[in-house]
Amino acid sequence: MAGEKDDLESIAARREEWEEKECRESFGRIPARLPRFSTVSDMEVKALATPADVPNMDYERDLGFPGCYPYTRGAQASMYRGRLWTMRQFAGFGTARDTNGRYKYLLSQGQTGLSVAFHYPTLMGYDSDHPRARGEVGKCGVAIDSLADMEVLFDGIPFDKVTTSMTINGPAAILLAMYIAVAEKQGIGQDAIGGTIQNDILKEYIAQKSWIFPPRPSMRLIVDTIAYCTEHVPRWNTISVSGYHIREAGSTAVQELAFTLADGIGYVQAAADAGLDVDAFAPRLSFFFNAHVDFFEEVAKYRAARRIWARVMKERFGAKRPDSLRLRFHTQTAGCTLTAQQPMNNVVRTTIEALAAVMGGTQSLHTNSMDETLALPSEQAVTVALRTQQIIAEESGVPNTMDPLGGSFFVEWLTGRMEADALEYIRKIDDMGGIIPAVEQGYPQREIADAAYHYQQQLEKAEKVVVGVNKYVMEGKIDIPILKIGEEVEAEQRRRLAALRAGRDGAEAARCLEAVERAARGTENMMPYFIRAVKAYCTLGEIIGVLRRVFGEYKDPGMF
């Protein structure tokens, strides 16, 4: 698309001349502001991109059309003219009842999907009355110990109309089992429910670190959920391969892209190795990316992700169905860009980030609330965050045209550059024998830690600016209302657990746990055992406890 070879040569020559002449003159009068211009990931960028910067780009081959291979320009042909992205605010705090109230509020305000944030004990597979849960109950998410809590959480929320995303990894299979059980009580079959479990354990080892079991048994549980859903829960997204947390841990944009796709490759390989047909399960894999504040870098990242994934699925795994090749993703604006100082500025950051996600063709979006570095989002803050999406959707005009930045010399150059850099990482990981050995050696962990430290040093030297933090600093605090969770939630959960244990059929619960243990020691698919156990009101901590005994625990390798 960039034109004939001769044209390119003459453009390149003219560009050189321009630098020599016009630029030199202009910068002679007004010197450059910085010695070097780079993205927030510290990738150096050009002052100007021209067709000569994308000399080998072939429109049909590299860009194509939305909904067509290699999907650079979008996952669907209809894009936002058909359906807007799903506005899905991640929420959860306190007890199931507290969070249920927030969900109903959000749905009444025009939110179109649910997204559950669990508290740390649930993420780590402990009940609220475990000593390890001390001080954590209901703090960073909702406390879910058993099916009884899930029933309250989704009380009055119709599973045939709303899809739900659950950010859960180590215990993902068990929370999915609970969701299926709640659906059944609502009279909805498992084949009719829709939603997502994150179920991405590799990025836990790499970045987020809410792990329970070592990699190999964890991969088995993931393959079990994939196999089960492929057969019985066809509308369920079985993994949300997540770059979000990799980025939050301090990676660069390229690292986020590369490690996320490398994780995705790892899952496809594992499922294929287990004998599953790629085209049967790959359509239900989805992705989850960060939207950081460096606008163009982010847009390029999403576009590169789609292109790389389509080619990998086709060329490496021989996938044939378009649904297997097309990368769909959820986006969350970057929590790590929010500042405690001058918190209102966070609304602006989030707007820029959300815009990047939309310009990059996201399928669903969470916008952070301005107060999230201070506490859990208050109702007021979360409303502004939701309105931000609605303004982009309804007022800005941005969704009217597909991939509006496609064809920009700069964005195409950046997309190609990020693709090349990410492929280089993926090649290194392949050389190590794949993502699991790479993770065991701490390779991605170390790359991320280095990048995080590098950025921090740039901040301290003021080579990178964060408004209100190392420039335009204001004395005194700006207060906004915040939401705090008291210790009474822990007491309440303890009471609920005690009542549950006293009230259930103890013998049936014990039988179910034994069955889980036997299945874990064998090779059968574990999902049916989990479903039976949660229905007998075995708690999450009890089920995970059994698995811990069988599978062992993963320990922090503490990479620097």
Partner 1 sequence: MSSTRKLRILVAKPGLDGHDRGAKIVARALRDAGFEVIYTGLHQTPEMIAAAAIQEDVDAVGMSIMSGAHMVLMPAVVDLLRARGGEGIAVFGGGIIPDDDMEALRAKGVKGLFTPGTPLAEIVDWINANVTPRQ
Partner 2 sequence: MRDIDDGMPGAVDALKALYPRTGRAHVVGVTGAPGTGKSTICDRLIGSFRAEGKKVGVVAVDPSSPYSGGAILGDRIRMQEHATDPGVFIRSMATRGHLGGLSASTGDVVRVMDAMGMDVVIVETVGVGQDEIEVARTAHTTVVVLVPGMGDDVQAIKAGLLEIADCFAVNKSDRDGADKVVRELQVMLDMRPRREGDWEPPVVKTAAIHGEGIGDLRGALDRHAEWAAGSGRSGQVLTDRRKSELGEIMRGMIAKAVERRIEAYPGGIDGLANDVRAAGKDPYTAAEEILKGAMDGLKESGGR
Ligand X SMILES: Nc1nc2c(ncn2[C@@H]2O[C@H](COP(=O)(O)OP(=O)(O)OP(=O)(O)O)[C@@H](O)[C@H]2O)c(=O)[nH]1
Binding site for partner 1 (CB under 8 A): 120-121, 123-124, 126, 131-136, 139-140, 204, 208-211, 248-250, 339-341, 373-376, 449, 452-453, 456, 459-460, 466, 469-470, 477, 482, 484-485, 487, 555-556, 558, 560
Minimum CB distance to ligand X smaller for 55 or for 442: 442
Token digits of residue 299 = 């847009």
Does 557 bind ligand X (CB under 6 A)? Our answer is yes
Size of the site for partner 2 (CB under 8 A): 8
Does 456 bind partner 2 (CB under 8 A)? Our answer is no
Nearest approach in angstroms of CB 432 to ligand X is: 11
Minimum CB distance to partner 2 smaller for 379 or for 440: 440
Residue 465 to residue 462: CA distance in whole angstroms: 6
Tally of CB atoms within 10 A around 24: 10
Does 440 bind ligand X (CB under 6 A)? Our answer is yes
* DSSP track, 429-464: HHHTTSHHHHHHTTHHHHHHHHHHHHHHHHHHTTSS
Residue 238 to residue 199: CA distance in whole angstroms: 7
Does 560 bind partner 2 (CB under 8 A)? Our answer is yes
Residue 474 to residue 483: CA distance in whole angstroms: 24
Residue 180 to residue 344: CA distance in whole angstroms: 40
Choose the stretch contacting partner 2; rule: CB under 8 A; options: 40-48, 151-159, 523-531, 551-559.
551-559
Q: What H or E segment, with its residue span, contains residue 553?
A: none
DSSP 118: B
Minimum CB distance to ligand X smaller for 158 or for 557: 557
Among 214, 407, 442, 528, binds ligand X (CB under 6 A): 442
Length of the chain: 560
3-state secondary structure 507-534: HHHHHHHHHHHHHHHCCCCCHHHHHHHH
Does 82 bind partner 2 (CB under 8 A)? Our answer is no
Residue 208 to residue 438: CA distance in whole angstroms: 16
Does 156 bind partner 2 (CB under 8 A)? Our answer is no
Identify residue 190 by its one-letter amino acid code.
Q
Nearest approach in angstroms of CB 560 to partner 2 is: 6
Does 557 bind partner 2 (CB under 8 A)? Our answer is yes
Cis peptide before 217 (omega within 30 of 0): no
Does 461 bind partner 2 (CB under 8 A)? Our answer is no
Nearest approach in angstroms of CB 129 to partner 2 is: 21
Tally of CB atoms within 10 A around 493: 25
Q: Helix (H, G, I), strand (E, B), or coil: what is residue 196?
A: strand
Minimum CB distance to partner 2 smaller for 217 or for 335: 217
Minimum CB distance to partner 2 smaller for 125 or for 141: 125
475 binds, among partner 1, partner 2, ligand X, none (CB under 5 to 8 A by kind): none
Does 437 bind partner 2 (CB under 8 A)? Our answer is yes
Residue in the block written with tokens 């996600």: 357
Nearest approach in angstroms of CB 559 to ligand X is: 7
Does 558 bind partner 2 (CB under 8 A)? Our answer is yes
Helices and strands per DSSP (H, E), number in the chain: 23, 10
* Nearest CA-CA partner of 96 in 171, 176, 155: 155
Nearest approach in angstroms of CB 326 to ligand X is: 35
Query: Which residues are near ligand X by CB under 6 A?
Result: 440, 442, 557
Query: Which residues are near partner 2 by CB under 8 A?
Result: 437, 440-441, 555-558, 560
